Structure 1
Amino acid sequence: MTDISETSIRKTETAANPVQKADIDWANLGFSYIRTDLRYIAHWKDGAWDAGRLTEDNVLHIAEGSTAVHYGQQCFEGMKAYACADGSVNLFRPDMNAARMQRSCDRLLMPQVPEAMFIDACKQVVAANLRFLPPHGTGGSLYLRPYVIGVGDNIGVRTAPEFIFAVFCVPVGPYFKGGLAPVNFIVSEYDRAAPNGTGAAKVGGNYAASLLPNQEAHARGFGDCVYLDPETHTKIEEVGSANFFAITHDDRFVTPKSPSILASITRQSLLVLARDRLGMDVEEGDVFIDNLSAYKEAGACGTAAVITPIGGIQNGEEFHVFHSETETGPVVRRLYEELTGVQFGEREAPEGWIVKVQ
């Protein structure tokens, strides 16, 4: 790992000089794949990870019997790097992403990626692709996708003989077009995850299962689905690929709690900011779909979406509107400004939340 760290430091120091930015329309940047210069890759074999390296190759070369292909033995993370006004670059709570990936690896019998290795790999990728980092003030960021997959020659249902850990990055704008503008959602009849299944792990199978419900929601004019708890179908769990939160009429911040929810780092951060910065009472608990009138505002939150205000939710024949279908509510807006202010270095961050790349 010594050589990796030294390489990362050298690249970071070099990147302190002015960077010639990529030819990108930053103001109209969406959320889609753009190939960047370098990505990180490491291999696990015979019980250990190798040193890892940066590569220009954006194509994986894996065995045809790889467990990631046949049995879904893979997990991933989503996180962002942010350009600050002073020229530095922030990673937002990467230790939380590292810990969540370790939990996902444990659930799928894959080797953990050590936190130091995870964070160093992310820093290397950001430092090597600074020309793709959206400038401060554009609202864009550099999205990082770390992942672990099972590879190697295999045919039976078992854990893989080898694994790959890799990280690539993509410059992105808002996940939902229109920025901080309300989006309507519809309650899905499909389940996102099974009770006692892999809902709490960030694994690809959960997302593959969401493709059809998402398509059907779009066909009906909605931004995405609201998924209910798989056991009783009475409580909100997730909103598309994001976590749900709501604001009660007496200004409590409420978000669902369930063993089949993927714990969003954005949601966990909002719990802290709502309590410590906005002085709100916060609560993780049941959010019943037939009690939406208890909430004056609602939102979907996650690394990709950041915060998306929820205008209304279609539940069967009933459509419930929160604050407005066209305007963002005042509490959701304050939470968004506080969170993004921390991420972009415009507001003081709680201790340990920011790791500097340069």
Structure 2
Amino acid sequence: MSELKNIDWSHLAFDYVKTDYNVRCAFDGSKWGDIQVSDSEYINLHMAASCLQYGQEIFEGQKAFRGKDGKVRLFRIEENCKRIQDSARGLMMEPIETEKFIEMAEKVIKLNARFIPPYGSGSSLYLRPLEIGVTPRVGVRSATDYLMLIFATPVGNYFAQGFTTCKVVIYREYDRAAPCGTGRWKVGGNYAGGLRATERAKQHGYSAALFLDPKEKKYLDECGPANFFIIEGDRYITPKSNSILPSITNMSLQQIAKDMGLKVECRPVPVEELAQADEAAECGTAAVATPISEVYDYDNDIHYVISKDGKPGPVVTELYHRLQAIQKGEAPDVHGWMREIDV
């Protein structure tokens, strides 16, 4: 396939760009069907579908990279599959079969190969798998029929400024998810629930809202649509609670941190511990590892200044570059995270 013309690969936003094809697979109440290829950007959906009435909707985010050697690799697809299966079980939906999910992901990459950004551009091909309940429902109960769909789009950095520091803010009047709710699953409603806090944060000049635990408002939770971690000396510390999405990027950074000789702690992190942090970052498929220079506790009018010079710290910088090097084929994939795609 020829490369797309008129795309400035180095200046892509993190936004939707139309590509050639998406792939779909339906569950009819008894089994998953064959994978279908579509060039339509639209879904024919019943107005009473359970995804619209009662929020039976889950999704994933993952990336494919064109490496230094020209090969295309997909990052930790098996972990994304495990997580969407877990999300499905959490919302009483039908989990997709592992082999079928991976086949769909590989197929959508191959079908849209001309949209995979070139090595060195700083961009990647983003995959968005989603599963929705399509059975018409008026009574509150789970669907029997489901649609799994994966589309792909080339994206740049989630934050337009690239790898540089940002500032975030804490508002105690907002929750991202309930204490024993859907926070640990990748559900669209969790993100909708955080939009008001995020918009307010941006109006106040911050990149994101840092949410606290929804039960006691004492511990750090998620940072906007991403996980959060701090560096204290030789320790990589990330919050733990039932309302935090288990981030595959965070999991990977923890392993890299161990490879660097750091001690990894996953535990409740009190807000006040920010005063002891040497570095901080939000992390996820989109954000990768974005350094945080300051956290403002709005309700208590406390500024936790983490980076005195406003620049990324050495540990977060090293973590970021090591992960990127593995994804782009610049460093050995010693943990077997990358799946090579023959395009």
The Cα of 1:325 is off from its aligned counterpart by 5.8
CA distance in 2, matches of 1:31, 1:129: 17
Structure 2 counterpart of 1:279: 261
C-alpha spacing 1:211/1:325, structure 2 compared with 1 (3 Å):
farther
In structure 2, C-alpha distance between the alignment counterparts of 1:339 and 1:294, rounded to whole Å: 25
Specify the alignment match of 2:312 in structure 1: 328
Match of 2:67 in 1: 84
Name structure 2 gaps, 5 residues minimum. Answer: none
Structure 1: 5+ residue stretches without partners:
1-14
Residue type matched to 1:91 in 2? L
The structure 2 residue matched to 1:118, chosen from 101, 111, 118, is 101
**Alpha-carbon offset, residue 152 of structure 1:** 2.5
Partner Cα separation in structure 2 for residue 39 and residue 188 of structure 1: 39
User: Which deviations, in whole Å up to 9, do the C-alpha atoms of 1:173-194 show, x marking residues without a partner?
Assistant: 0001111100000002201111
- Aligned residue in 1 for 2:44: 61
Of 156, 168, 181 in structure 1, the residue corresponding to residue 164 of structure 2 is: 181
Task: Please give the TM-score of this superposition, normalised by the length of structure 2.
Answer: 0.97
Aligned equivalent of 2:21: 38
1:203 alignment counterpart: 187
The alpha carbon displacement at 1:119 in A equals 1.0
> 288-297 vs 141-150, which deviates more?
288-297
Q: Find the partner of 1:307 among 289, 293, 307.
A: 289
Deviations 1:143-187 (A, max 9, x none): 100010000322211111311000001100000111110000000
In structure 1, what residue type is equivalent to 2:324? T
How big is the shift at 1:26? 1.0
Aligned residues: 339
Q: Secondary structure at the match of 1:275?
A: helix
- Give per-residue Cα distances to partners, 1:178-225, cap 9 Å, x unaligned: 111000000022011111110000001101101111111111010010
Distance 1:325 1:74, change over 3 A: farther
Task: Report the alpha carbon displacement of residue 279 of structure 1 after superposing the two structures with TM.
Answer: 0.9
> How far apart are residue 231 of structure 1 and its match?
1.1
Q: Residues of 1 paired with 2:334 and 2:162: CA distance?
A: 25
**Contact 1:22 / 1:132 at 8 angstroms: preserved in 2?**
no
User: Hey, what's the Cα distance between the residues in 2 that align with 1:331 and 1:219?
Assistant: 30
Q: Secondary structure at the match of 1:166?
A: strand
CA contact (8 A) 1:182 1:324 kept: no
Matched ranges for 1:94-173 at <5 A: 94-173=77-156
TM-score by length of 1: 0.93
Amino acid at match of 2:134: V
Question: Pairwise CA RMSD of aligned residues?
Answer: 1.1
* Residue matched to 1:74: 57
Q: Distance in 1 between matches of 2:3 and 2:10?
A: 17
Alpha-carbon offset, residue 286 of structure 1 = 1.7
Per the alignment, in what secondary structure is the counterpart of residue 225 of structure 1?
strand
Q: Deviations over 1:15-42 (max 9, x none)?
A: 6xxx323421112111111111000011
Which of 23, 35, 56 is equivalent to 2:6?
Answer: 23
- Pick from 41, 44, 47 the counterpart of residue 30 of structure 2: 47
Rounded to whole Å, the distance in 2 between the matches of 1:325 and 1:77 is 36
Shift of 1:54: 1.2
State how far apart, in whole Å, the 1-side matches of 2:161 and 2:11 are: 10
Does the aligned pair in 2 maintain the 1:150–1:161 contact within 8 Å?
A: yes
Q: Is the 8 A contact 2:53 2:137 kept in 1?
A: no
Q: Do 1:182 and 1:325's aligned partners in 2 also have CA atoms closer than 8 Å?
A: no
For 1:231, the equivalent position in structure 2 comes to 215
Which amino acid in the other structure matches residue 294 of structure 1? Answer: Q
